[in-house]
């Protein structure tokens, strides 16, 4: 039984294929069309998933699409009357969406009537919940999804038991933790789609001096029996105008119109424009924003733990990328185990919808756990060789050597330990926005200057954004305050006080690190690399940042070579090949 999941006409368009209950392939369209957060129809992602599964469209039995136009119809109609222009925009997107069958047929140049698959609509947040729970290692768990907006809701929670999910509650438009975070992110001068994580990094540099004001921006009564929060709507505009979103076109990064109102300016002072310097006031506002998010998010999780009696929690939706808040779940709530799959945001909807159909609709039992993130395209040695031969690294300024694995990781670790910057390209590409050791840039965590060096030479990012550590899973507890697994960089834990000066480069200003715990089972070659670095440098940690320069993470060897050549990376490992500048 083959199920194709498609997240189309929404940010992070993606596709996934589930065969007999096991994930075979999953990838975002942005990796192919090279447009960050690309929306539109993910034709290339679908084509890749079919190839990887060795299937044709004709052998797909079910197509699962994570949107249900009929969800919350009453609320939608209520707002459609109040906001006619917003309603018109939504109808336009929905008309595209309901044409997924036609778009699919068009992309593969076949007659739509020849598509034999059954099409299913799965509500946005149900797909989020399914994307986390059905691939988690838990037999039963509480589940929570929180994001900006999808099918007119922002939040949903419930319980997963065996092969079924039960929804216990939800929060509808206009109340949204995601839109709250985005509105203040815009106010602080970060206007691009997906900039929230920058503000999360900035928050650690400030003091949450305006927390009381932020308690008016999001209201949450931790003592009330009902779970949920409300936005102080006077601070926002989206409930009056509708959020202005554009995500119909595949060749563009989505955009979102201004969400904060004049009241926000009156209460917090003038907003920052992107060119202005980031000052103490902005840092403190970012800290207050983050502190209030944590109060509400952790408060809701605490209530969910109480209501369900569960010790395990699965999280999804854009808010689940808040690794700083996630890292505090163990202290702030009764939950003892946390699972966040790597594409917790909207890309993950494609796997969520597909697994929802397999378990909830077809009634199949659980048989799959997502233990690693490597579900994207991989390239065999001849393809890598061809890319190298076609590139200018074959000229005299570079040396190219094919090496056996142990020699390769030993040489690569020595390069890192010398303070050089190494591109590391292996196996299948990561699913989700984090590079997890297959499309990574790796550097020495012991050097305090490494953050600036990386920024100056390759990444060109804001100085307040941290870099992440990858650590051998078995050493986690010796270096971090917690040893709970974080295989997908979804948690930030405090670095042990006595270790902070040993790994200053990926230790954030607040003493935490957004770590990736690496097991030999999940990624043997990356694990070997970190172990070789430990042998050379005495530290079981490398600094890991995504293999890109203000673009989607590289996917093909050609893109890795391009990035290597145009930046000032010192060396590149492509599969079994080590390329160095001479
Ligand atoms: Fe979402």
Identify the pLDDT of residue 254: 77
* Residue in 389, 386, 406, 315 with CA at minimum distance from that of residue 352: 315
Average confidence (pLDDT) over 236-240: 90
* pLDDT at residue number 91: 64
- At 345-388, the pLDDT tens digits run 999 999 999 999 999 999 999 999 999 999 999 999 999 999 99
- Stretch 482-500: mean pLDDT, rounded? 97
Confidence of residue 85 (pLDDT cuts 50, 70, 90): low
- C-alpha 565 – ligand 1 centre gap (Å): 36
Determine phi and psi for 384, rounding to 5 degrees: -65, -45
Q: Is the pLDDT of residue 246 over 80?
A: no
Report the pLDDT averaged over residues 78-95: 67
Could you list the beta-strand ranges (E) of 173-221.
218-220
Cα(347) to centroid(ligand 1), Å:
8
pLDDT at 131: 98
Is residue 11 over pLDDT 70?
yes
**133 has a pLDDT exceeding 70:** yes
Residue 248 has a pLDDT of 57
State the distance from the centre of ligand 1 to the C-alpha of 184, rounded, in angstroms: 19
Q: How does DSSP assign 14-82, residue by residue?
A: EEEEEETTEEEEEEETHHHH--TT--S--HHHHHHHHHHTT--GGG--EEEES--TTTTHHHHHHHHHH
Distance, in Å, from the CA atom of 144 to the CA atom of 413, rounded to the nearest integer, reads 40
Ligand 1 geometric centre to CA of 179 (Å)? 11
CA count, 13 A, side-chain hemisphere, 164:
6
Confidence of residue 253 (pLDDT cuts 50, 70, 90): confident
Instruction: Considering only residues 478 and 151, tell me which one the structure prediction assigns the higher pLDDT.
Output: 478
Instruction: Collect all residues with Cβ–Cβ distance below 8 Å to 274 and sequence separation of at least 6.
Output: 189, 190, 191
Distance 8 CA to ligand 1 centre (A): 12
318 CA from centroid of ligand 1 (Å): 6
For residue 95, name the pLDDT band (cuts at 50, 70, 90). Answer: low
Supply the pLDDT for residue 39: 87
Between CA 244 and CA 85 the distance in angstroms is 10
**Distance, CA of 6 to CA of 28 (rounded, Å):** 10
* Across 18-23, average pLDDT: 98
What does the pLDDT read at residue 327? 97
Q: 170 C-alpha to center of ligand 1: Å?
A: 13
Centre of ligand 1 from the C-alpha of residue 319, in Å: 9
Binned at pLDDT 50, 70 and 90, residue 97 comes out as low
Query: How many angstroms is it from 148 CA to the middle of ligand 1?
Result: 7
CA of 516 to the centre of ligand 1 (A): 24
Distance 297 CA to ligand 1 centre (A): 16
The string of pLDDT tens digits covering residues 571-582 is 999 999 999 998
């Amino acid at each position: 039984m083959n199920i194709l999941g498609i997240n189309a006409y929404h940010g992070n368009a993606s596709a996934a294929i589930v065969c007999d209950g096991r994930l075979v392939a999953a990838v975002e369209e942005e990796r192919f069309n090279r447009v960050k957060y690309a929306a539109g129809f993910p034709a290339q992602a679908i084509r890749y998933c079919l190839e990887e599964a060795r299937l044709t469209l004709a052998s797909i039995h079910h197509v699962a699409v994570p949107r249900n136009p009929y969800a919350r119809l009453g609320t939608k109609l209520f707002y459609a009357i109040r906001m006619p222009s917003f309603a018109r925009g939504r109808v336009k997107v929905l008309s595209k969406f309901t044409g997924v069958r036609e778009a699919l047929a068009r992309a593969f140049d076949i007659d739509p009537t020849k598509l034999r698959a059954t099409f299913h609509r799965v509500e946005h947040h149900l797909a989020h919940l399914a994307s986390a729970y059905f691939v988690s290692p838990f037999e039963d768990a509480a589940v929570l999804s929180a994001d900006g907006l999808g099918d007119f809701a922002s939040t949903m929670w419930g319980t997963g038991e065996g092969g079924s999910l039960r929804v216990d509650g939800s929060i509808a438009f206009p109340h949204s933790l995601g839109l709250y975070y985005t509105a203040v992110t815009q106010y602080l001068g970060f206007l691009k789609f997906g900039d929230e994580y920058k503000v999360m990094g900035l928050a650690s540099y400030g003091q949450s001096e305006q927390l009381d004001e932020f308690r008016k921006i999001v209201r949450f009564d931790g003592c009330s029996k009902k779970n949920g929060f409300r936005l102080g709507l006077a601070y926002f505009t989206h409930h009056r105008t509708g959020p202005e979103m554009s995500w119909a076109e595949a060749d563009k990064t989505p955009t979102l119109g201004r969400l904060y109102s004049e009241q926000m300016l009156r209460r917090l002072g003038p907003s920052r424009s992107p060119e202005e310097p980031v000052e103490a006031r902005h840092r403190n506002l970012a800290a207050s924003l983050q502190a209030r998010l944590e109060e509400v998010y952790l408060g809701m999780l605490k209530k969910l733990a109480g209501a369900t009696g569960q010790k395990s929690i699965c999280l999804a939706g854009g808010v689940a990328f808040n690794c700083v808040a996630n890292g505090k779940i163990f202290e702030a709530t009764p939950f003892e185990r946390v699972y966040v799959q790597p594409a917790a945001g909207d890309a993950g909807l494609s796997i969520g919808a597909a697994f929802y159909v397999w378990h909830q609709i077809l009634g199949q039992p659980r048989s799959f756990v997502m233990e690693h993130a490597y579900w994207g395209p991989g390239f065999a040695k001849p393809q890598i060789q061809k890319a190298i031969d076609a590139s200018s690294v074959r000229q005299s300024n570079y040396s190219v050597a094919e090496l056996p694995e142990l020699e390769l990781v030993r040489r690569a670790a020595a390069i890192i330990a010398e303070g050089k910057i190494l591109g590391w390209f292996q196996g299948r590409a990561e699913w989700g926005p984090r590079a997890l050791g297959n499309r990574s840039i790796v550097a020495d965590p012991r050097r305090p200057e490494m953050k600036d060096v990386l920024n100056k030479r390759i990444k060109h990012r804001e100085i307040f954004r941290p870099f992440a550590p990858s650590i051998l899973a078995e050493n986690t507890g010796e270096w971090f305050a917690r040893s709970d697994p974080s295989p997908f960089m979804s948690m930030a834990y405090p670095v042990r006080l006595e270790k902070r000066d040993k790994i200053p480069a990926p230790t954030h200003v607040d003493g935490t690190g957004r770590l990736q715990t690496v097991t030999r089972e999940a990624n043997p070659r990356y694990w070997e690399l970190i172990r070789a670095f430990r042998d050379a440098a005495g530290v079981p940690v490398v600094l890991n940042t995504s293999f890109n320069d203000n673009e989607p993470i590289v996917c093909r060897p050609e893109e890795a070579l391009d990035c290597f050549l145009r930046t000032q990376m010192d060396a590149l490992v492509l599969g079994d090949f080590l390329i160095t500048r001479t």
